[in-house]
Amino acid sequence: MDSLSVPLPLDTGFFKYHGDMMGKWEELIFPLFSGIPVKYLEIEEVYNASYTNFIMNHLPENSTATCIDTWQDQDDIFNNLSGYILKRGETMEELQKLKVQDSDSSFDLIFFLTARKKVNLMDYLELFHEKLLNNNGVLVLNDYLNREEIKQGGMHTIDIVKRFLFKYQGQYKVLFSNFHLFLQKI
């Protein structure tokens, strides 16, 4: 599948989605990092910690996780996540600080929730591409097909991602496209 061809799935039912997603992670993402410690970054998805724990339980030993979220009204989750580097605050500000404070602030795997109304998705994609995602690393965009949550300048998430892939044509491989979009930087 080339980088400009991002097909829409035929079945996007909620219950089918969750089972399929976990299987797709196991099929397509985890084998890429077999036996290699992974630097994992999770952004605005930590509100229930289920993905964080699922992913970290499947990554090789000595992998690290950095989680950035506002954790608004979620002190119980924030306080119960142990073993992870936690950054509490506005996402873009925390990413900028991370980039400045840590000379090795690049990651092998980034998981980003796209369905945030105040997110300028293209700014995030550019930052991931230029500063935060390693070559051969994987960017997972959650809620990629969520047409109701994000409209930025009249564009849906899908359109923004297609514009990004066009700009960086030949630099990303689409591994999977559904509610999650798996992009590997090549």
Q: Are 146 and 114 in contact (CB under 8 A)?
A: yes
pLDDT of residue 103: 57
Instruction: Tally Cβ neighbours within 10 Å of residue 47.
Output: 17
pLDDT of residue 3: 41
The residue extents of the domains of the chain are 14-185
Distance CA 144, CA 178 (A): 7
Q: What percent of the chain lies above the pLDDT cut of 90? A: 31
pTM of the model: 0.82
Task: Compute, in degrees rounded to 10, the torsion defined by CA atoms 75, 80, 86, 90.
Answer: -20
Q: Are 52 and 86 in contact (CB under 8 A)?
A: no
Give tens-digit pLDDT for 5-46.
444 444 444 334 455 678 888 999 999 999 999 999 988 766
What is the pLDDT of the chain when averaged over all its residues? 78
Tell me the average pLDDT across 93-116: 78
Give tens-digit pLDDT for 73-97.
666 666 666 667 878 778 888 888 8
Q: What is the CA radius of gyration of the chain?
A: 16
- Band the pLDDT of 176: cuts 50, 70, 90: very high
Q: What percent of the chain lies above the pLDDT cut of 70? A: 68
Q: Are 106 and 133 in contact (CB under 8 A)?
A: yes
Fold category of 14-185 in CATH: Rossmann fold (3.40.50)
